[in-house]
Chain A
């Protein structure tokens, strides 16, 4: 009985500490959206990818005989228009970001790896971190998964993500 009570109290203590630890230790920052670049295509919200996937499906439906030539032409016209519109918007967005970066020079330093030689860089060429978004998370340089600021290893592929390991070693 005593053994059970002591075990129970120990378990309770450990788990309460486990639950409360984030509140006691971490800063009370607001969690922003994690810009995960590596999304399954079908899960993408990008209008460009959505339209292009629709086009791919329409092509396949034509090839399997599910769509007539007329339906194919009308659907292809519609979704090509959407895709081009999305591509155009994406491009102008990129240009705007590039210009803004070039003018302000804000992209010239990576929070993890320090100053970058390319002032217009969108991503850090060492760690892959997005430079145009202020609070973009660092990334694993091997698999590209987002990792936390103080991570030593990537949670996705297990590779070391410490700063020194990101530096290419002489062969």
Chain B
């Protein structure tokens, strides 16, 4: 195993251990999206009767992807906060002084994010099944949803890490919490794009979150179809690529300042 892989793996395990030791970071990833999921389903379950709403088993099936997207976004912020706390606590400086490939600092965090993302997707799929949702795509549908979720989770975490490396403060990361809702509301995560008000419907068409959410939703409400799945993977993968470049550039800047 190369040194980069070894160090990245060690840092990923450390990040996961720290997350598990601090339930206050993990709990919001599932509590807030679960509560919003319950309120949305309980309050708006009749909207499936609206003209233009796709054929679904129930509104819960449709909303699962929204809860997943929201949870993964919160996961990205959470990874960013954890990275910022390492900067504030001085651990980053010790890593910077250590004889290790510096890029492992970012890669280790993203490996941990991928693992947490898989757990988040599994949690919401199980939650949905318990409360009567059906996964129309079957086992392959689950695999595809988990795959898109993991890629998207890595993308959001890379954005979080990039922000943490630029800002260097956990408080700044916490301050962008409302922004998550703005980005989500500007997508088709919560409601079909055809039923969104103008101009949000137009903006949603250009928002990668729409494709990520619809990519995860497709296999839940319908059979696995190449179109939405590939679009979801492409949107998540593209976002991950851009975010990782930003994170590495931010790391270089931070190391220059250190």
Task: Please indicate whether A and B come from the same complex rather than being unrelated chains.
Answer: no
Residues of A in contact with B (beta carbons under 8 Å apart): none
Residues of B in contact with A (beta carbons under 8 Å apart): none
